Structure 1
Amino acid sequence: MALSFPDLSGAALNDLVEKLTHYAISNGLVIYPPGFKAYQPSVAPVTLYPTPFPRAQFSKGVAISTKFNELYSRVVVDKSWLKQVIADLSKYDRNFTGMLYKTYLEAEPKIVQPVSLGLFRSDYMLDTVSNSIKQVEFNTVSVSFGGLSPKVGQLHSFLNSQGLYGRPQYYQEADLPTSQSMDGLAKGLLEAVKYYETSEKTASTIVLFVVQPGERNVFDQRAIEYSLFAKGVKSERVEFDKVTSSVKVDSSSKLFYKEQEVAVVYYRSAYAPSEYNHPDSWKARLLLETTKAVKCPSLLVQLSGAKKVQQLLTDRAVLQKYGFLDEELLSTFVRIYPLDSSEQGQIAKKLVFEHSERFVLKPQREGGGNNIYKQDIPGFLRSLDEKEWGAYILMELIVPAVHDNHILRNGEVLDESIVSELGMFGTLLFNETDGTILHNDYAGYLLRSKTSTSNEGGVAAGFGCVDSLYLHD
């Protein structure tokens, strides 16, 4: 049985907020606000207390993390199937998915590095109907908050140990797991560096972070960079728009940045259409894809994270084809429909107008703020040509638990209850040609929460906050 939340008000609440703020700033639990100056970080939006979560369901998420990693590796290795799926999808989403795919086809005959690194995050909500975790999405590019997640757990443990939750040791420390995602993701990058240096018989290489200009979430990324440096590997950062003017490729297809050999290209950008507005954007992606550096992710791995692929992987026949007819995986799926001319698509087109309150409409986009919810769906679809509907998937809504936790944002305690989403990080180093897996590991967790009245949940996009777990039986 879960403990109720601490009941703080007045001076006790003010004291908690002050000490939380001081701890967060002292320990790098920060983010830049919009329109920031470099010297003006602020406390990242966080919850006041850890949020309860069933221990058994958390353990299940940990256990299936490496299974999902391997499943997606098999999807990527099955190039003919994945290419056909993406080619069909590209007809509906020519400007982004279509361009990613076109760039991959152009790169394909020139690819000299078959080994790819995935830093993945599989996101779940605890469904109150089944009391089990249900997958929201599987992210294959630029997964965020692995650097800040451990700091939130450490924050809540500190506040608990200081008696700031109303009594000494309000929670048992064993019930407050701190995520290992900062070091876990850095370890994945390290494994890719070691592979590259061994195969190329070289040393002292770097990881090149490809980033957005004016990145507000830079401290999350820096935390992974510093963890990697503590493991003996240096990193550099280059803005996506400046790649072509900043890097060099030698005659053997090795990549260099500031005269340093690059072992791994790590994308913390390049996942949204708005990032490809520079004249050299697609040229940069093609250039990097055809070097010997290990890509995190490669174009094909990024494309495997399309919502359309997620929808197809809920089909038992597709899972069976990949040898993953696993009841633990299957139990995490909700119904996901296409909106095309197939039989399932026709069912979806009927459902969406008769029972829109049960669904969310998702495009092939990452980063928060892109989904259409419930009663907004019919009007949105009517605003499009029906031929364009195939760019979307229709996903059954999960019914999450609502908790009386509170979010601290910009110094203000929001007096609203919250809902939460659990992300499980995983790292996978594998050969896209023959399927050989060189490294596959669970890499920590992320709990993101948002006010229960908000549909969207992106922290950097301004919808949610970072949180930590209180596990209970």
Structure 2
Amino acid sequence: MATSYPPDLSAQESEQLLSTIRDWSIAHGLAVRPPPNFVSSETDPHGVLATTAPVTLFPSPFPRTCFEQATSVQEAYNLLYASISRDEQFLQDIVQDIIEVDEFIAELWRVHLKVKDEGYVQVRLYGPSRRTYKSTNNKAGRIQHNCLILWWIIFSDVSVTRTDYPLLDSVVTKSLDLPLNTSTKSLGLGIRQAFEKYNSATTLYDCCTIFLVQTPERNVFDQRHLEYDLQEHGIPVFRLPFSEILSHTTIADTSKRQLIYSPPGNPSKKFEVAVVYLRAGYGPQDYPDESAWRGRLQIERSNAIKCPTILTQLAGAKKVQQVLATPRSSSSPSPLARFLKPEDADLEKLEDTFTNIFPLDESPAGLEARKIAVDPEQCKRYVLKPQREGGGNNTYRSAIPPFLKSLPESHWKSFILMEIISPPPVHNMILRNGAIEKGGVICELGIYGTCLWNQATAEILYNGQAGYLLRTKGDKSEEGGVAAGFGSMDSCTLV
């Protein structure tokens, strides 16, 4: 790599590069609906405008050893979380600790119990996921598990190919090692595997896949590319707002409880839903009233293959991550022993990616963590996380003590306390809403995975690593979510 990286640009080079990136990004779908603080609803009342997604001007250096470690362990993580999703007792023991103070988690659990009482009819589960890592001491430290928030799939593909256009040849050395990324095709393949398993049996109607989405959705272009990939393979795909589940779907009056979808533009036409891919439903904001919960129950009790089910969603809760990762003495058995044999090579590989995470309950570890969380000095090394997916939910460093003191202590157990990882310093430039931000940045590597399994027999029907995502934020920013307005899309050059 050149001595100066990213390279210094003259004013003319900078303007030419920005012009090229803006046009190239829009032309290739690296775009979002503009945020309200950039383009007001009065200016764009019909929501038809688009702007370049936040993106770095150059690929950011990322340690090769960390990248290879994170990608190599992904399939083991897929199997681990499939096992956790199958272990209702394990999840129940965890959920019981927080449902008293977290109504959202409690309501998800109630939906599961209602379907369990009636009897689940679909035993095949599909779990798309993303594990997020920061590099530390030349190893990958896992900071996040997502089973619903799989944004920026196509963007992660595009941000790599973005570096192929000719202009960069003059300003970026050709020796950059840019790993191939096929996240859209790989995640599409996972959904196709689920669709084909369902469609191989006798169905009432032609089958389709439903994307459950938020409205409005700024990140629509990323989602559309995954839809287009499925459609290229002959799979009908429909977008259904989460709030309209009950308006356009019904449950067949059969023992299989098939989910039937009628497109609003052609209500006389009926499709049997083979796969429901949830791009909504991960937070309380998607459930403003009881009808939204009835809609989620309708999806859950149906025969459609859910991506994910309630149990798979709960397996992705921060509390599960904490239970697996809380440091313990060598004489204490690892929670992983419940799912892996001691001699299993994957056990050590998984534990090697764990970050120190602590409960805030009344256990000995939790009471010790409470002391750290309210200490004005010790808290500066930690982040406080609730049981939520998506950016903008966390509390960092010195903000932790006053935040906790604003809550009843009985509510503290619904949070986890994670040690902050400080990656090596990197510099880059970020294009966001037409303006350039230049300086130190922090990179987070997300590894996508797909897994299809039989909930009843534990048979693994498909398991694969499905590409990666590099998100980069300014080193003065705590949060890293691109959709939440903090991070940006990036490409990684391995060093």
Which band: TM-score by shorter chain? Answer: over 0.9
2:230 counterpart (219, 228, 231): 228
Task: Name the structure 1 match of 2:273.
Answer: 262
- Counterpart position of 1:237: 239
Amino acid at match of 1:229: Q
Matched, 1:322 2:343: no
In 2, the alpha carbon distance for the partners of 1:142 and 1:112 equals 26
Match of 2:93 among 77, 84, 87: 84
Show the counterpart of 2:216.
214
2:330 equivalent in structure 1: none
Q: 1:338 aligns with which of 356, 359, 362?
A: 359
Residues 29-48 of structure 1: CA deviation (Å, up to 9, x unaligned): 10001245443111101000
Asked if structure 2 preserves the Cα contact closer than 8 Å seen for 1:6 and 1:166, the reply is no
**Which range moves more in the overlay, 428-437 or 186-195?**
428-437
Task: Report the equivalent of 1:17.
Answer: 18
SS in 2 for 1:405: strand
Match of 1:53 among 55, 62, 71: 62
Contact between 1:117 and 1:297, CA under 8 Å: does it hold in 2?
yes
Residue 453 of structure 2 aligns to a residue whose secondary structure is strand
Q: Secondary structure at the match of 1:407?
A: strand
Please give the TM-score of this superposition, normalised by the length of structure 2.
0.91
Distance in 1 of aligned mates of 2:216 and 2:81: 32
Matched-pair identity in %: 38
Alignment-mate amino acid for residue 96 of structure 1: F
Q: 1:88 to 1:146 in 2, by over 3 A?
A: same
Q: CA RMSD in A?
A: 1.6
CA distance in 2: counterparts of 1:204 and 1:60, whole angstroms: 42
Aligned pair 1:63/2:72, yes or no? yes
The aligned counterpart of 1:463 is 486
Shift of 1:293: 0.4
Counterpart residue number, 1:109:
117
**Which residue does 1:299 correspond to in 2?**
310
* Structure 1 residue 178 displacement after superposition: 3.5
Indicate if the aligned counterparts of 1:206 and 1:235 stay in contact, CA closer than 8 A: yes
State the 1:157 CA deviation. Answer: 2.6
Deviations 1:151-174 (A, max 9, x none): 11111232xxx143544x61336x
SS at match of 2:96: helix
**CA distance in structure 2 between the partners assigned to 1:78 and 1:114 by the alignment:** 14
| SS of equivalent to 2:106 | helix
The farther-off stretch of 198-207 and 331-340 is: 198-207
One of 97, 103, 107 as aligned partner of 1:99:
107
Q: Give the counterpart letter for 2:30 in structure 1.
A: L
Segment drifting more, 249-258 vs 442-451 = 249-258
Query: Quick check: 1:212–1:268 contact (8 Å CA) kept in 2?
Result: yes
Q: Secondary structure at the match of 1:96?
A: helix
Indicate if the aligned counterparts of 1:8 and 1:166 stay in contact, CA closer than 8 A. no
Instruction: Find 1:388's aligned residue among 390, 411, 415.
Output: 411
**Counterparts of 1:324 and 1:13, CA distance in 2:** 55
Matched, 1:141 2:148: yes
Residue of structure 1 in register with 2:431 after alignment: 408
Where does residue 323 of structure 2 map in the other structure?
A: 312
Q: Is the 8 A contact 2:60 2:426 kept in 1?
A: yes
Q: Secondary structure at the match of 1:90?
A: coil
Report the counterpart of residue 287 of structure 1 in structure 2.
298
- 1:399, 1:2 → 2: CA distance? 24
Gaps spanning 5+ residues in structure 1: where? none
- What's the offset of the Cα at 1:438? 0.5
Contact 2:56 2:428 in 1 (8 A): yes
C-alpha displacement of 1:432: 2.0
Alignment of 1:159-198 (within 5 A): 162-164=166-168, 166-167=170-171, 170-172=173-175, 175-198=177-200
Deviation by residue 1:345-366 (Cα, 9 ceiling, x = unmatched): 1110122233000110000011
How far apart in 1 are the matches of 2:68 and 2:465?
A: 11
Using the TM superposition, name which of 299-308 and 49-58 deviates more: 49-58
Secondary structure of the equivalent of 1:309? helix
Q: Deviations over 1:82-108 (max 9, x none)?
A: 122112221121x20011111111111
| In structure 1, distance between residues paired with 2:71 and 2:480 | 22
Report the CA distance between 1:372 and its aligned residue: 0.5
- 1:211-262 CA-to-partner distances (Å, cap 9, x unmatched) read 0011000101001001111122121011011100111221221111121111
1:431 aligns with 2:447: no
Opposite residue 325 of structure 2, the aligned amino acid is: T
- d(CA) in 2 for partners of 1:418, 1:132: 18
Instruction: Give a deviation string over 1:397-445, Cα, whole Å, max 9, x none.
Output: 1012221101001111112321111000000111223221110100000
What CA distance in whole angstroms lies between the structure 1 residues aligned with 2:423 and 2:353? 14
Deviation per CA, 1:247-294: give whole Å up to 9, x if none. Answer: 122122111112111100110000011110033111001111111100
Letter in 1 for 2:200: T
The amino acid of 2:371's aligned partner reads K
In structure 1, what is the Cα distance between the partners aligned to 2:92 and 2:456?
14
How high is the TM-score relative to the length of structure 1? 0.95
1:398 to 408, 414, 421: 421
Given that 1:419 and 1:449 are in contact with CA atoms closer than 8 Å, whether structure 2 keeps it comes out as yes
Q: Which AA in structure 2 matches 1:255?
A: L
- CA contact under 8 A between 2:149 and 2:389: conserved in structure 1? no
Contact 1:8–1:165 under 8 Å retained in 2: no
Partner amino acid, structure 2, of 1:331: D
Count residues with an aligned counterpart: 464
SS at match of 1:375: helix
Tell me the CA shift for residue 201 of structure 1.
5.6
Question: Gaps spanning 5+ residues in structure 2: where?
Answer: 36-40, 263-269, 327-332
C-alpha spacing 1:269/1:2, structure 2 compared with 1 (3 Å): farther
Q: 2: CA distance between counterparts of 1:460 and 1:116?
A: 27
Question: Are the aligned partners of 2:65 and 2:139 in contact in 1 as well (CA < 8 Å)?
Answer: no
SS at match of 1:150: helix
Quick one: structure 1 residues 2 and 447, their matched pair in 2 at CA, closer, same or farther if it must change by over 3 Å? farther
CA distance in 2, matches of 1:163, 1:172: 15
1:55 deviates by 1.8
Following the alignment from structure 2 to structure 1, what is the Cα–Cα distance between the partners of residues 220 and 148?
Answer: 16
- Stretch deviating more after TM superposition (381-390 or 323-332): 323-332
What secondary structure is seen at the aligned counterpart in 1 of 2:388?
coil
Give the SS at the match of 1:301.
helix
Could you tell me which amino acid in structure 2 is paired with residue 303 of structure 1? L
Q: Once the 2 structures are TM-superposed, how far is the Cα of residue 456 of structure 1 from its aligned partner?
A: 0.7
Q: Which moved more, 1:461-470 or 1:200-209?
A: 200-209
